[in-house]
């Protein structure tokens, strides 16, 4: 499986990873090599095999609906790179909706 | 030769600093309870040792000298009141992906430089409650992704046995700290071998418990369905003591198992009687060899297995046919989970934030500059494997093969009590030997990954040397039977005469 | 709803203005906040409404390194209760998944949701629209967690967004409806009925202004002959029932116009702009998200087994439509009155508790009238929420029995109601305010005598055979007793005086 530069750019964009041109080229080649090794899995017929997402046989692990103390606001904000008036502060998201920051200004 | 005799008998008064740093946790417990060594003395001896060797080894990202001294004082008071717990006053190193309120927690990443957790990991609070002494936060590959500790953003750790070589990883810091007598015991985390492989490279004992045995709450997540916290120690008995101190159900971790925790320490060590494995069926898997396996490693492991037979174990050949697929499965599953787990490092609530003209560029620059090469590689790989059009071919396929890997073990454990194999195909390698070839680096974990995929416990125990570097035997057991892997490793350890050898620092 | 945009050649015979028969297809997705004390995956308070920013957070809902979620049993049970109230199948095994996207109000970079295996599937909602009973399919009900809240602010040097994470991790359920609705009115009536059920079963406050009940809509348009078919358009940002109806009306018109003009209706997401009364494009199909769903490894799967379902089912109350039908049948109430009485569970409960199990239809109607006219009027004057009446069931029962026994006149009761103190029984209040019926014959007789003396013309009319003139005399006598005399008693005494002296 050989990745193209466009593949790398698309995945980096999904992951919000800024890459230098050099990193991009190296990742393209390295990921292609790794995916090539992973192709070994194609030798296995898994059509009838159920997937394993978790190994433990646990089910319905639920907690009672009992409130517990929250952090103080100072504790919550203690590590914030930017804050204002008790809020975390970021550059403006441009309009509403989960991907507004992807839209052109 | 060394403190081994002391370890076995508990006799004699340890007086010199080197005597004190050579003590095992079991020995330290006896001395502390007898009040002939104080926790303060023990702690000072370790801080002095850290001062003496850190320049060469670099096991720690943060040394918690003041915290340790305060804990030692409190520990001595507690011992004086006759209220000592197994870990009271015992100096411990914590891998720097375990959250602590009183020292930065960085996961060896630039993106978390200086980060202060407002809460303790469950394992940390359990050790704190026992009165343990925290010497510091030990080095790791960034976000525990790596097999050499070369991917730490704060400089690599060196192998105490040969400073030109890697200590293994990702828990290279905890492994080296215990090997170099910079801590009595340590906690690391093991996602694909990150406790066992560095334990093997550094000639110490490392245990990955059953998935769900130890709470992951406060462990900075790498791959949530695989991560498990485990102990490093210089003896199997110490590993059992530390495991006992941190294991058990935690309501804050939904994947923590509500299983009773046996008295692991009572199953091992001199108190458990002469080494005897009669009646124990040990599986030897023919698949646990690869091209590139070093002959010295194979020879040492073969000799160790022969020793186990001499101790009465019945050797049974077993087949784990999907072993060769576990590595590929792992390199889909772990990066996929990691890609989501690392999405929270966005510079909004904590951590590095590199400001750029727009929010999107700020995200990209923060993550581009905050993450190192291996973390980026895995985020890319995992994002790709989950992305539209590739999910079934990669992620779902890997989940199905994971079922096959589990079934291999289920079937094997119907016939045997434990499986023995090498921990790694090679001994420690030189710095830079594999950093340019990620796949060669990944191969270093080829024998440890299957246990994570299946969720079963595994221990790495030193079994000799090849080319002057430690070789390690791995013992794998059925889920929630840490007892059998501890017993086999303990019997082996106590039957050998060379196991107390210390690195020539 | 597999609809693809079809570009129609205008030359193919669609004349502008020709009478095309259009059909609108609407499916709604509702997000409702589950009425729990603590959040979905941590112990922070779920009622964030009055908390200052970032004071109801913890490592879990801040998405701090190392924190892990633990699911809230009450949230799962309320979503299950919702599924049962909508007649859903409960598949048993279900699981939680991570939905990955990046936004500053989403601390973990993923939302814990349910992807392919929801808690509840395949139900139906029956509701009344335009006087007709309709049924729309429910695709699924699943649990989610809310995001934080963003506040936008202009500052010197540019715009910033401020993040408050109190709402982060508050439990939500998503109720996905089948595309069975055919008009904006139906969509609105569906939402009203759904909200009513959620309030009945105690799953959600359904409060739209506070964001506890939110709706997105999928709407498409086609001609009945199937020649013109538009793509599905998702409409967001509708914050009231009225906004839903208006936005969908706008979209319906826009899509019909486009198809009529031979244009395609492309698949996209549009936002309703309330003050301009229009929808605007937010995202096209090509910009659709790649959410990279995968099973949440931090949470074991769920199994809503028979025991859990039985426990939850036992909490299922009589639902609004059934109750409305029963009220109409058992008490002879009109459909409209029955609907009003059952609109809020608390009011229907008060009504039933006040009249008791043995009530006759007459008593029930009397009680209904008092609630619908006087108590709801007072409710409005006092600005009480729609489910809170000014009287409790005990107070109402006391009032009704006093009225039935003639201890109080209707007129006195109307005067009394605004003055009843909380938890004070109306009889006690009437005594305090001197509004009980007059039993002192001397006072009534004196009032009768005064009236007869004051209205000789009416007296003469009556005696001349115009018996209707007594109405005026009764009214005047009542006035002289401050409305506290019993009207039948006054009539009897007046008649006796008029007939005797005649």
| Highest mean pLDDT: which range of A91-105, B359-373, C278-292, C360-374 | B359-373
Q: Looking at residue C497, what is its pLDDT?
A: 86
Tell me, yes or no, whether A97 lies in a domain. no
Residue-averaged pLDDT of chain B? 95
The three-class DSSP label of residue C289 is coil
Is residue B95 among the annotated active site residues?
Answer: yes
Q: Looking at residue C4, what is its pLDDT?
A: 40
Confidence band, pLDDT 50/70/90 cuts, at residue C1? very low
Q: How far apart are CA A41 and CA B453, in angstroms?
A: 15
Provide the token pair at C452: 């007869």
ipTM of the complex: 0.95
Tell me, yes or no, whether A27 lies in a domain. yes
Q: Looking at residue B499, what is its pLDDT?
A: 66
Q: How far apart are CA B100 and CA B136, in angstroms?
A: 10
Tokens 């936002």 sit on residue: C271
Q: How far apart are CA B192 and CA B213, in angstroms?
A: 16
With CA atoms as reference, the chain C residue closest to B390 would be: C292
Nearest by CB to C68, from B105, B252, B337: name it: B252
Set of chain B residues whose Cβ sits within 8 Å of the Cβ of A82 = 353
Nearest by CB to B384, from A11, A18, A92: name it: A11
Provide the edge-to-edge strand list for the sheet that holds C149-155.
A83-84, A87-91, C158-164, C149-155
One-letter-per-residue 3-state SS of A77-102? HCCCCCEECCEEEEECCCCCCCCHHH
**Residue C265: φ, ψ to 5°:** -105, 105
Residues of chain A with pLDDT under 70: 1, 95-105
Q: How far apart are CA C172 and CA C284, in angstroms?
A: 27
Tell me, yes or no, whether A36 lies in a domain. yes
Give residues with Cβ within 8 angstroms of C4, minimum separation 6.
C229, C231
**DSSP summary character for residue C145:** E
- In the predicted model, is pLDDT for residue B84 greater than 50? yes
Q: Looking at residue C9, what is its pLDDT?
A: 44
Q: Give the CA diameter of chain A.
A: 58
The three-class DSSP label of residue C135 is strand
Least confident of A9-13, B18-22, C37-41, C122-126: B18-22
Which residue range is the domain that position A25 belongs to?
5-43
CB contact under 8 A, C109 and B349: no
One-letter-per-residue 3-state SS of B320-361? CCCHHHHHHHHHHHHHHHHHHHHHHCCCCCCCCCCCCCCHHH
Nearest to B53 by CA among B150, B148, B135: B135
Q: How far apart are CA C409 and CA C485, in angstroms?
A: 8
Set of chain A residues whose Cβ sits within 8 Å of the Cβ of B327 = 37
The three-class DSSP label of residue C287 is helix
Cβ atoms of C44 and C38 closer than 8 Å = yes
**Residue A81: φ, ψ to 5°:** -65, -35
CB contact under 8 A, A59 and C300: yes
CB contact under 8 A, A97 and C295: no
Tell me, yes or no, whether A11 lies in a domain. yes
- In the predicted model, is pLDDT for residue C11 greater than 70? no
Count structural domains, chain A. 1
CB contact under 8 A, C300 and A88: no
Confidence band, pLDDT 50/70/90 cuts, at residue B68? very high
CB contact under 8 A, B399 and A11: no
Tell me, yes or no, whether A58 lies in a domain. no
Chain Cα centroid distance, residue A45: 29
**Min Cα separation A37/chain B (Å):** 7
- In the predicted model, is pLDDT for residue C12 greater than 50? no
Is residue B137 among the annotated active site residues?
Answer: no
> Which C-chain residues 244-303 have CB contacts (< 8 A) with chain A?
269, 271, 282-283, 287, 289-290, 292, 294-295, 297, 299-303
Between the CA of residue C68 and those of B252, B372, C48, C112, C309, what are the distances in Å? 7, 25, 21, 12, 27
Tell me, yes or no, whether A20 lies in a domain. yes
Q: Looking at residue C495, what is its pLDDT?
A: 87
Between the CA of residue C76 and those of B193, B288, C92, C106, C176, what are the distances in Å? 36, 45, 12, 21, 17
Confidence band, pLDDT 50/70/90 cuts, at residue B286? confident
Chain Cα centroid distance, residue B224: 16
CB contact under 8 A, B328 and A37: yes
User: How many Å from the N-terminal Cα to the C-terminal Cα in chain C?
Assistant: 85
Nearest to B223 by CA among B455, B471, B388, B494: B455
Q: State the count of interchain CB pairs (< 8 A) between A and C.
A: 146
Q: How far apart are CA B269 and CA B357, in angstroms?
A: 62
Q: Which of the other chains make 3 or more beta carbon contacts under 8 angstroms with chain A?
A: B, C
The three-class DSSP label of residue B231 is strand
Q: How far apart are CA B274 and CA C358, in angstroms?
A: 84
pLDDT digits (tens, 9 = 90+) for C136-177: 999 999 999 999 999 999 887 789 999 999 999 999 999 999
Tell me, yes or no, whether A17 lies in a domain. yes
pLDDT digits (tens, 9 = 90+) for B440-478: 889 999 999 999 999 999 999 999 999 999 999 999 999
Tokens 């059992």 sit on residue: B240
The residues that bridge with C137 in the sheet, in sequence order, are: C124
Q: Looking at residue B371, what is its pLDDT?
A: 98
CB contact under 8 A, A44 and B404: yes
**Min Cα separation C427/chain B (Å):** 55
Q: How far apart are CA A29 and CA B439, in angstroms?
A: 12
Helices (H), strands (E): how many in chain A?
Answer: 3, 3
Set of chain B residues whose Cβ sits within 8 Å of the Cβ of A81 = 347-348, 350-353
Q: What is the DSSP string of C319-352?
A: PHHHHHHHHHHHH---HHHHHHHHSSHHHHHHHH
CB contact under 8 A, C109 and B225: no
Provide the token pair at C433: 């305010």
CB contact under 8 A, B117 and C297: no
**Min Cα separation A105/chain C (Å):** 12
Give residues with Cβ within 8 angstroms of A52, minimum separation 6.
B399, B400, B402, B403, B406
Q: State the count of interchain CB pairs (< 8 A) between B and C.
A: 105
Q: Looking at residue C3, what is its pLDDT?
A: 37
Query: What is chain C's length?
Result: 502
* Bond before C45 cis per omega within 30 degrees: no
Nearest by CB to B251, from C69, C70, C98: name it: C70
Set of chain A residues whose Cβ sits within 8 Å of the Cβ of B350 = 79-81
Least confident of B114-128, B164-178, C45-59, C406-420: C406-420
With CA atoms as reference, the chain B residue closest to A25 would be: B377
Least confident of A3-7, B4-8, B192-196: B4-8
Residue range C269-298: mean pLDDT, rounded: 92
Residue range B160-189: mean pLDDT, rounded: 98
Q: Give the CA diameter of chain C.
A: 99
Q: How many CA atoms lie within 13 A of B271 on its CB side?
A: 15
Q: How far apart are CA B42 and CA B47, in angstroms?
A: 9
pLDDT digits (tens, 9 = 90+) for C223-235: 999 888 999 999 9
Give residues with Cβ within 8 angstroms of A104, minimum separation 6.
none
Nearest by CB to C294, from B97, B118, B336: name it: B336
Q: B194, B215, B424, B444: which is the annotated catalytic residue?
A: B194
With CA atoms as reference, the chain B residue closest to C158 would be: B357
With CA atoms as reference, the chain C residue closest to A60 would be: C302
The residues that bridge with C235 in the sheet, in sequence order, are: C217, C270
Best probe of the A interface among C43, C47, C98, by most A CBs < 10 A, is C43
Q: Looking at residue C155, what is its pLDDT?
A: 80
Q: Looking at residue B15, what is its pLDDT?
A: 62
Best probe of the A interface among C37, C41, C54, by most A CBs < 10 A, is C54
Residue range C293-307: mean pLDDT, rounded: 97
CB contact under 8 A, C294 and B224: no
pLDDT digits (tens, 9 = 90+) for C474-483: 988 988 888 8
**Min Cα separation C194/chain A (Å):** 25
Q: Looking at residue B404, what is its pLDDT?
A: 98
CB contact under 8 A, A15 and B380: yes
Q: Looking at residue C371, what is its pLDDT?
A: 96
pLDDT digits (tens, 9 = 90+) for C433-476: 888 887 777 888 888 889 989 998 889 898 888 888 888 899 88
Confidence band, pLDDT 50/70/90 cuts, at residue C18? low
Is residue B38 among the annotated active site residues?
Answer: no
Tokens 């993550």 sit on residue: B367
Least confident of B18-32, B355-369, C97-111, C149-163: C149-163
Residue range B5-34: mean pLDDT, rounded: 76
Tokens 């046995």 sit on residue: B161
Q: How many CA atoms lie within 13 A of B325 on its CB side?
A: 24
**Min Cα separation C11/chain B (Å):** 39
Nearest by CB to A27, from B357, B380, B442: name it: B380
Give residues with Cβ within 8 angstroms of B136, minimum separation 6.
B50, B60, B61, B62, B63, B64, B65, B68, B93, B94, B103
Nearest by CB to C63, from B121, B251, B344: name it: B344
Cβ atoms of B453 and B230 closer than 8 Å = no
Q: Looking at residue C245, what is its pLDDT?
A: 97
Q: Looking at residue B14, what is its pLDDT?
A: 59
Give residues with Cβ within 8 angstroms of B246, minimum separation 6.
B122, B123, B126, B127, B187, B214, B215, B229, B231
CB contact under 8 A, A56 and B353: no
CB contact under 8 A, B324 and A61: no
Tell me, yes or no, whether A77 lies in a domain. no
The domains found in chain B, sorted by start residue, are 4-262 (3.90.1300.10), 324-396 (no CATH)
Q: How far apart are CA C51 and CA C47, in angstroms?
A: 8
Cβ atoms of C390 and C375 closer than 8 Å = yes
Confidence band, pLDDT 50/70/90 cuts, at residue C14? very low
Q: How many CA atoms lie within 13 A of B74 on its CB side?
A: 17
Nearest by CB to C43, from A54, A62, A67: name it: A67
Give the CATH number, domain containing residue A26.
Answer: 1.10.20
């Amino acid at each position: 499986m050989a990745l193209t530069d466009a593949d790398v750019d698309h995945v980096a964009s999904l992951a919000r990873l800024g890459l230098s041109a050099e990193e991009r080229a190296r990742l393209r080649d390295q990921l292609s090599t790794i995916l090539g090794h992973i192709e070994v899995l194609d030798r296995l017929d898994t059509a009838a095999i159920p997937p394993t997402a978790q190994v433990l046989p646990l089910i319905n692990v639920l907690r009672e609906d009992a409130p517990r103390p929250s952090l103080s606001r100072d504790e919550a904000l203690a590590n914030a790179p930017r804050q204002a008036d008790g809020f975390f502060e970021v550059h403006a998201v441009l309009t509403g909706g989960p991907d507004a920051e992807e839209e052109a200004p | 030769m060394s403190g081994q005799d002391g370890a076995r008998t508990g006799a004699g008064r340890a007086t010199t600093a080197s005597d004190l740093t050579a003590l095992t946790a079991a020995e330290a417990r006896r001395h502390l309870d007898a009040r002939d060594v104080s926790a303060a003395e023990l702690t000072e001896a370790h801080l002095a040792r850290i001062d003496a060797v850190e320049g060469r080894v670099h096991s720690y990202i943060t040394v918690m000298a003041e915290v340790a001294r305060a804990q030692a004082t409190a520990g001595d008071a507690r011992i004086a009141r006759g209220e000592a717990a197994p870990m009271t006053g015992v100096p411990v190193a914590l891998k720097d992906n375990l959250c602590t309120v009183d020292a930065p927690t960085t996961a060896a990443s630039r993106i978390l430089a200086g980060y202060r957790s407002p809460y303790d990991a469950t394992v940390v609070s359990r050790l704190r409650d026992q009165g343990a002494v925290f010497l510091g936060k030990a080095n790791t590959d960034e976000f525990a992704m790596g097999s050499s500790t070369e991917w730490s953003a704060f400089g690599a750790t060196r192998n105490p046995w040969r400073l030109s070589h890697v200590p293994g990883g990702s828990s290279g810091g905890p492994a080296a700290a215990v090997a170099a007598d910079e801590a009595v015991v340590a906690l690391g985390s093991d996602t694909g071998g990150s406790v066992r492989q560095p334990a093997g490279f550094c000639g110490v004992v490392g245990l990955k418990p059953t998935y769900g045995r130890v709470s992951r709450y406060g462990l900075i997540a790498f791959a949530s369905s695989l991560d498990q916290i485990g102990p490093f120690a210089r003896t199997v008995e110490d590993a059992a003591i530390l495991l006992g101190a941190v294991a058990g159900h935690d309501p804050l971790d939904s994947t923590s198992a509500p299983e009773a925790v046996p008295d692991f320490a009572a199953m091992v060590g001199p108190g458990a009687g002469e080494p005897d494995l009669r009646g124990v069926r040990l599986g030897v898997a023919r698949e646990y060899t690869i091209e590139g396996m070093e002959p010295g490693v194979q020879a040492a492991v073969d000799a160790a297995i022969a020793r186990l037979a001499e101790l009465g174990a019945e050797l049974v050949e077993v087949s784990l046919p999907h072993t060769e697929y576990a590595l590929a499965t792992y390199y889909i599953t772990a990066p996929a989970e990691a890609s989501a787990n690392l999405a929270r490092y966005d510079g909004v609530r904590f951590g590095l934030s590199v400001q750029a003209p727009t929010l999107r560029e700020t995200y990209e620059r923060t993550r581009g500059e905050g993450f190192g090469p291996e973390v980026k590689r895995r985020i890319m790989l995992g994002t790709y494997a989950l992305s539209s059009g590739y999910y079934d071919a990669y992620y779902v396929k890997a989940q199905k093969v994971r079922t096959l890997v589990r079934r291999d073990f289920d079937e094997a454990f119907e016939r045997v009590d434990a499986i023995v194999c090498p921990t790694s195909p090679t001994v420690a390698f030189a710095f830079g030997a594999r950093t340019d070839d990620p796949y060669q680096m990944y191969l270093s974990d080829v024998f440890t990954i299957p246990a994570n995929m299946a969720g079963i416990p595994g221990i790495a125990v030193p079994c000799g040397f090849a080319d002057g570097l430690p070789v390690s035997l791995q013992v794998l057991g059925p889920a929630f039977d840490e007892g059998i892997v501890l017993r086999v490793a303990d019997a082996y350890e106590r039957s050998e005469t060379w196991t107390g050898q210390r690195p020539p620092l | 709803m597999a609809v693809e945009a079809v570009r129609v050649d205008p030359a193919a015979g669609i004349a502008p203005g020709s009478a095309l028969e259009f059909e609108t297809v609407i499916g709604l997705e509702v997000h409702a906040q589950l009425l729990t004390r603590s959040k979905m995956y941590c112990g922070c308070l779920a009622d964030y409404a009055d908390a200052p920013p970032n004071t109801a957070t913890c490592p879990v809902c801040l998405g701090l390194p190392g924190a892990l979620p633990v699911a809230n049993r009450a949230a799962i049970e309320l979503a299950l209760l919702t599924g049962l109230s909508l007649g859903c199948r409960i598949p048993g095994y279900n699981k939680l998944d991570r939905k990955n996207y990046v936004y500053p109000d989403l601390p973990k970079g993923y939302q814990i949701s349910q992807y392919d295996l929801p808690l509840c599937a395949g139900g139906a909602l029956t509701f009344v629209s335009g006087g007709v009973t309709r049924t729309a399919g429910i695709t699924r009900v699943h649990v989610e967690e809310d995001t934080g809240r963003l506040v936008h602010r202009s500052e010197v040097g540019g715009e910033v967004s401020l993040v408050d994470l109190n709402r982060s991790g508050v439990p939500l359920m998503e109720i996905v409806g089948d595309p069975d609705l055919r008009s904006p009115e139906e969509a609105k009536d569906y939402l009203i009925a759904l909200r009513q059920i959620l309030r009945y079963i105690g799953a959600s406050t359904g409060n739209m202004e506070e964001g506890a009940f939110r709706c997105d809509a999928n709407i498409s348009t086609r001609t009945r002959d199937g020649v013109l078919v538009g793509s599905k358009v998702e409409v967001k940002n509708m914050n009231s029932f009225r906004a839903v109806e208006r936005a969908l009306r706008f979209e319906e018109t826009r899509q019909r116009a486009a198809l009529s003009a031979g244009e395609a209706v492309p698949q996209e997401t549009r936002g309703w702009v309330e003050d301009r009364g229009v929808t605007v494009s937010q995202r096209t199909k090509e910009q659709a998200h790649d959410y990279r769903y995968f099973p949440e490894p931090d949470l074991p799967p769920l199994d809503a087994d028979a025991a859990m379902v039985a426990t939850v089912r036992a909490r299922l109350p009589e639902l609004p439509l059934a109750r409305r039908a029963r009220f109409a049948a058992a008490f002879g109430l009109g459909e409209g009155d029955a609907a009003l009485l059952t609109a809020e569970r608390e009011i229907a409960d008060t009504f039933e508790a006040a009249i008791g199990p043995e009530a006759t239809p007459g008593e029930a109607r009397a009680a209904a009238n008092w609630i619908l006219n006087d108590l709801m009027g007072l409710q409005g004057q006092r600005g009480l929420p729609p489910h809170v009446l000014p009287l409790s069931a005990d107070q109402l029962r006391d009032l009704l029995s006093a009225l039935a026994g003639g201890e109080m006149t209707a007129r006195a009761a109307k005067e009394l109601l605004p003055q009843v103190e909380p938890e004070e029984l109306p009889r006690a209040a009437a005594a305090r305010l001197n509004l009980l019926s007059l039993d002192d014959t001397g006072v009534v007789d004196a009032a009768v005598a005064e009236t007869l003396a004051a209205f000789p013309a009416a007296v003469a009319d009556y005696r001349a055979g115009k018996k209707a003139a007594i109405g005026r005399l009764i009214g005047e006598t009542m006035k002289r007793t401050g409305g506290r005399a019993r009207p039948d008693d006054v009539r009897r005494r007046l008649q006796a005086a008029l007939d005797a002296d005649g």
